[in-house]
Chain A
Amino acid sequence: MMDSENQGFEEARLYSSHEEVENLDFKEKLSAKSFSNYRSAMSSLSDAHHPLSSPAVLTPADSDPLRPPPMDRDLQKPYVSDHFFSDPLHFSDVNFGPSDGNNVSDLNGVESPSKSLESSGSLSRSSSSNSEYIKISVSNPQKEQEVSNSLVPGGSSYITYLITTRTNIAEFGGSEFSVRRRFKDVVTLSERLAESYRGFFIPPRPDKSVVEGQVMQKQEFVEQRRVALEKYLRKLAGHPVIRMSDEFKVFLQVQGRLPLPTTTDVASRMIDGAVNLPKQLLSESAMAPQEVVQPAKGGRDLLRLFKELKQSMTNDWGSSKPPIAEEDKEFLEKKEKLCDFEQQLSAVSQQAESLVKTQQDMAETFGELGLTLIKLTKFENEEAVFNCQRVRAADTKNVATAAVKASRLYRELNSQTVKHLDVLHDYLGLMLAVHGAFSERSSALLTEQTLLSDLSSLRSRAEKLEAASSKVFGGDKSRIQKLEQLKESIRTTEDAKNVAMREYKRIKENNRSELERFDRELQADFLSMLKGFVTNQVRYAEKMSEVWGKVAEETSSYSKESS
């Protein structure tokens, strides 16, 4: 992918065309949900309503097929053969299909090969200019110095990226803005989103790479990371709920330091938790209700961790049923289906990679053959004593030219194929998000179960205590005190349980709506990918057929002679 910002914006436009139409469809559904209790505000955007009859079908793949292939270093070699030809095959020379415009546009929904493709392609489905968009591009990596603290002289350096956003969504309070962010900020963003949006299919962030300082600054690594960040932010912008989150807005707009709380590392959390544990064990203190909205894992509350672990073991191995359980059959079915789907998708993705490789090899071998034949042609011409040698040289040249053309066509076909099949990889990545959302659901359930168990054990202790103290005449001061404490715990635990219950319900609802959205987008994305892939194959096969057909015709006299 090219570094130039123009390129970035073109791609942003193509990606967001998908978002635009998505956005329109979802506005109705999502605003009805009670996301208002979330920290992000979902204001109504009634002006921008454009109900579409059919769900979004546009993806980058659709509008992309005829852009000149990018100078992807992996896929192209310098064309040595250019030395031999005065007429290098230019992409624009290639005409697809027997009659350019007509035949191809018969294939409904597929753009005809025109130069104005990009502008027409990406917006052809949206009805008017009121469509919403967020276009993000990441560029301009720069080295910056860490502000040195007293302990470490000299400080370390890191890379920041320029993140430019263009949007017409009112909530952003601006149409174009840029900030500089470093990778650490992205990590923070993703963690805060994970906390706030439990149950949603949150796109996974790019991997941290554990590499040394020097490698960090190597151009290739930085470029890879830039691309990955751009993809990630665009995916976030493509999510109808997350794009409107405070966290996201803040990330994209607020200048200077990112004003989101960072997560402390695991070690210090464990230490904190260990410090609190004795107090927890000695006293009867119960979980503070507000903590319940976050999963136990990763928190500081070791006691809670232990309790939930115990509960999960009881669930799995205990003789009695847990107090409540996952009952949504539909959900369980869907979950299983998704697992199946993921497996098969992974297999297809692998085979797709193989396919791409063999197409690549084909291109290479055709090219080598062509070059060899060119050398032969030159040789025959230079050494020709008889005229038939020159004839042969001419024939050889024809074939050589065709072979080189075929090589280019295969290469171009391949770079297009890679783009289409990228959808497969994207969805595999998305499956991670799905698993994450499902595991939030399970852990919320576990929390509720644990609290219920807690509650019932507290209550039975209170009962026993009451019974015991009533036997003592005049009251048992110490017992009564204990009872009071217990009753207090019970009340707190009740509150916590209620919060947990609500949280679980909320997450379940998020799961459900996300599954619906996922299903819909999947249908659209995959069908579009299939169409794009197949259309691509057709076009290049037609072109190759033409190239070779010509050579066959030119050499047809040989065949008549021998029959």
Chain B
Amino acid sequence: MEQERGLPGSSLSPRSPSSQPYLSVSVTDPVKLGNGVQAYISYRVITKTNFPEYQGPEKIVIRRYSDFVWLHARLFEKYKGIFIPSLPEKNAVEKFRFSAEFIEMRRQALDIFVNRIASHQELQQSEDLRTFLQAEEETMERLRSHDSGIFKKKPADLMQIFKDVQSKVSDIVLGKEKPVEESNPEYEKLKHYIFELENHLTEAQKHAYRLVKRHRELGQALLDFGKAAKLLGACEEKAVGKGFSELGAKSEMLSNKLQTEAHQLLMNFEEPLKDYVRTVQSIKATIAERANAFRQQCELAETTKLKEINLDKLMLMRSDKAAEAEMEYKELKAASEEATRKFETIVALMHQETIRFQEQKTLDMGLAFHEFAKGQARLASGVADAWRSLLPKLEALSVS
């Protein structure tokens, strides 16, 4: 369905010969299962690949939304620094949870989610991805419920980290305090950009959604108008009656066009904008992770230094605690180096990811804009054609 672009080096065109490594996934066939409050939607996930680690050229499994959530959480935990593709929203208003439109939108978003992972140079190597794409349903269920216990805390933690980062950023912006933060002007710029961008995009998405509503409303208005016009046409004989009947019929027909376009607008313009917002939010999560890693690195470095000073003191004093202290110091140093390494990995990854993100978004939005414009043009010319065809009839009526 959606883009299968990847970084140079991972070619993922399904048309290429089997010598080229490929991994393509599709999320299809939503089916409602279960009853009442327990009801949920299940999806067919079809994997086609020639990766050696995978079980075969094709595999089909059944997954539900919470499975996708599991995958996302695992990847987020393991691949810090990478902008993990985002999931569609968790909660939906009860009323719409099973509406055809919502289901389709979610399916589309999940398909995009998995494919983005599959086309990411690093993420596609993930073992968890393999599990997700191949494991038996029972295995999946076990993993899902097991990890949900562990990961239950995560969202809350995440939120806290978010808040910390956000308040720290705003604190800095407001010049309130000097916390343990990187002093990297480029990175500061990026953070500022990301936070601002989210605001702009959210607003744009809001208006896009309103536009969808307007199309629906106009469609309804045309329908009602058409009906009333037809009734008027029926009670008035002669030319005027016919004129109104024709007008009414056309109006009703156009109402359908508008409803169709409203749907297109929702899927091909508003949804990509929402997706863009989600992506930005996932970047914010990564920013939080980086801040976390930085703080850890700093703290460990600090602690290690203190330990070193202490050790030196002990050694000078020829204390018998020195040996113990030295062991502790060595452990701490290793941990500190590990923390530093982790942090630096994140920095490097983020740098790469940012480039990728910007390029990807230009393509994504370009496509969304294209579809938007195409849809509007199609609608407008359809409307013009429909009304135009009415004119000779009206003309004939005037003459008669």
Contact = CB atoms under 8 A, between A and B. Distances in A.
A391 B399 CA distance: 55
B152 interface: no
Interface stretch (B34-42, B189-197, B305-313, B322-330): B189-197
Interface string B255-282: 0000000000000000000000000000
B224 A351 contact: yes
Given A347-B231, A545-B384, A369 B208 contact: yes
A555 B5 CA distance: 18
A552 B377 contact: yes
Q: Kindly name the residue among B193, B221, B383 whose own CB sees the greatest number of chain A CB atoms within 10 A.
A: B221
A362 B52 CA distance: 54
A396 B365 contact: yes
A541 interface: yes
Given A354-B221, A354-B224, A395 B247 contact: no
Nearest to A558: B366
Nearest to A375: B200
A557 B362 CA distance: 12
Given A344-B232, A542-B380, A359 B207 contact: no
Interface in A36-67: 54, 57
B99 interface: no
Contact of A340 (B5, B227, B235): B235
A341 B235 contact: yes
A473 interface: no
B211 A366 contact: yes
Interface stretch (A9-17, A147-155, A527-535): A527-535
Contact of B373 (A365, A379, A552): A552
B1 to A, nearest CB: 10
B391 A379 contact: no
Q: Kindly name the residue among A366, A386, A541, A549 whose own CB sees the greatest number of chain B CB atoms within 10 A.
A: A541
Given A354-B221, A358-B221, A107 B391 contact: yes
Contacts, number: 208
Interface stretch (B121-129, B132-140, B236-244): B236-244
A395 B204 contact: no
Interface stretch (B58-66, B100-108, B353-361): B353-361
A534 B247 contact: yes
A189 interface: no
Contact of B200 (A350, A372, A389): A372
A396 B374 CA distance: 15
A557 B366 contact: yes
A41 to B, nearest CB: 35
B200 A376 contact: yes
A27 to B, nearest CB: 23
B398 A388 contact: no
Given A368-B210, A555-B366, A383 B193 contact: yes
Q: Kindly name the residue among B5, B215, B362 whose own CB sees the greatest number of chain A CB atoms within 10 A.
A: B362
Interface stretch (A82-90, A135-143, A398-406): A398-406
A518 interface: no
B214 A365 contact: yes
A541 B196 CA distance: 36
B398 A344 contact: no
Contact of A362 (B189, B190, B214, B374): B214
Contacts of B373: 399, 402, 548-549, 551-552, 555
B350 interface: no
Contact of B398 (A57, A368, A538, A559): A57
Contact of B383 (A109, A533, A541, A562): A541
B214 A341 contact: no
Contacts of B3: 562
A559 B365 CA distance: 11
A534 B239 CA distance: 16
- Chain B interface SS verdict (over half): helix
B363 A558 contact: yes
Contacts of B397: 527
Contacts of B84: none
A549 B200 contact: no
A348 interface: yes
Given A340-B235, A523-B238, A392 B365 contact: yes
B221 A109 contact: no
B168 to A, nearest CB: 20
B235 A373 contact: no
Contacts of B299: none
B392 to A, nearest CB: 8
A436 B328 CA distance: 106
Interface in B194-235: 196-197, 200-201, 203-204, 207-208, 210-211, 214-215, 217-218, 220-222, 224-225, 227-229, 231-232, 234-235
B224 to A, nearest CB: 5
Interface of B: 2-3, 5, 189-190, 193, 196-197, 200-201, 203-204, 207-208, 210-211, 214-215, 217-218, 220-222, 224-225, 227-229, 231-232, 234-236, 238-240, 243-244, 247, 355, 358-359, 361-363, 365-367, 369-374, 376-377, 380-381, 383-384, 387-388, 390-391, 394-395, 397-399
7 contacts: A344-B234, A351-B227, A365-B207, A385-B190, A395-B366, A534-B247, A538-B384
What are the 8 tightest A-B residue pairs by CB atom distance, in nearest-first order? A558-B366, A545-B380, A541-B384, A555-B370, A551-B373, A548-B377, A552-B373, A344-B232
Interface of A: 54, 57, 107-110, 337, 340-341, 344-345, 347-348, 350-352, 354-355, 357-359, 361-362, 365-366, 368-369, 372-373, 375-376, 379, 383, 385-386, 388-389, 391-392, 395-396, 398-399, 402, 406, 522-523, 526-528, 530-531, 533-535, 537-538, 541-542, 544-545, 548-549, 551-552, 555-559, 561-562
